[in-house]
Amino acid sequence: MASLSLFQLVALVAFLFTLVDAHGYINSPASRSYMCKQGTAKNCGEIQYEPQSLEALKGLPFARGSDGKLCSAGLSQFAQLDRQGPGVWPTTKASNVHSFSWTFTAMHATTDFKYYITKSSWDSSTSKGLSASDFDAEPFLVVPMGGKPPAASMTHDLSKSLPSRSGYHVVYAVWTVDNTVNAFYQCIDLDFGGGNSKADAAASSSAPNTSNATSASTNNTGASSSSVSSPAAAASSPSANTGSSGASAANPKSHAVKGNAAGCRMKRKRAPSASILAARGDYRRHRLQTQRERQA
């Protein structure tokens, strides 16, 4: 085999150096790698010394299997990046995110940049590492490069706002290199505010069921309204309402029982209706008038 000239050797070394050193990371909003570099995130392992080195075979998050290891790109030396769960990673407010900024330690021919986000139904309370099924199938942002290298730094502006989400979610960024078999990967933790839908649903299912009590309260209110034939009739019987309140205050234990629908129904059966009270009033007035006529 013919020996290489000095010029060819220099060119080959420069080319290989470019392949090896063609690295980068997202610094805004801060990715997990960058947070480890800055010391914002703790217990990061080796990635804190080389946040630009998350380089692995193309295809993540969908085309090749690395479920549970997406944030480390399946690289065992960076396994700490796959830790997951509420409070494990510092988050950035999603409302402050209007672009994604990369820092490159070397530039390389690029196919595109793609950004994926966890599904709205994703359970943010899980401690399992991220899997392909956790993400929307389509990226919410694609930046084509057509084989051109990026500058030393590059910002990708959002043409529209981030997808609508609630609570904690993760963005998965992919930088696909054009003339190698590799790509670079970054995980970004965002807080959209509010609670995560699936986590909230789980919390609701474990909480005491108050729907029956609410229904009973609604029914009781309707029944109380129906016992008063009209606003005028209700106004003519304030003593009945006052008496009811006084009884409740005098006996707090019975007041607790009255929160039950059956107890309220029993109480209403014992209490005279507005029409009976009105009839009693008419009778008293008639009797007093008769007595005055007799005395006259």
Residue 174 clears pLDDT 70, i.e. is over it? yes
Sequence-distant (6+) residues with CB within 8 A of 135 are 61, 62, 116, 117, 118, 119, 172
Residue 112 clears pLDDT 70, i.e. is over it? yes
Ordered strands of the 24-28 beta sheet: 24-28, 99-104, 153-157
8 Å CB contact between 61 and 116: yes
For the entire predicted model, the pTM comes to 0.62
pLDDT band at 48 (very low <50, low <70, confident <90, very high): very high
Which position has the higher pLDDT, 154 or 23? Answer: 154
Q: Is residue 118 part of a domain?
A: yes
Cα separations (Å) of 162 from 49, 81, 170? Answer: 30, 23, 12
Instruction: Please give the residue range of the domain that contains residue 236.
Output: 224-295
pLDDT digits 0-9 by tens, 228-270: 344 444 334 443 344 444 444 444 444 444 444 444 444 444 4
The structure tokens listed for 54 are 């998350």
> In the prediction, which pLDDT does 175 show?
98
pLDDT band at 289 (very low <50, low <70, confident <90, very high): confident
Q: Are strands 141-144 and 55-57 parallel, antiparallel or unpaired?
A: unpaired
Same domain, 71 and 181: yes
Same domain, 94 and 163: yes
Task: Report the percentage of the chain scoring pLDDT > 90.
Answer: 54
Which position has the higher pLDDT, 125 or 201? Answer: 125
The whole-angstrom separation of Cα 269 and Cα 288 is 30
For the chain, the C-alpha Rg in angstroms (whole number) is: 36
The enclosing H or E element of 6 equals helix 6-21
Same domain, 147 and 278: no
Same domain, 44 and 123: yes
Number of neighbours of residue 141 by Cβ within 10 angstroms? 20
Question: What residue ranges in the chain does DSSP mark as E strands?
Answer: 24-28, 55-57, 92-93, 99-104, 110-117, 141-144, 153-157, 168-177, 182-191
Segment 164-181 mean pLDDT:
97
Same domain, 254 and 186: no
Same domain, 160 and 247: no
Same domain, 119 and 185: yes
Which position has the higher pLDDT, 90 or 206? Answer: 90
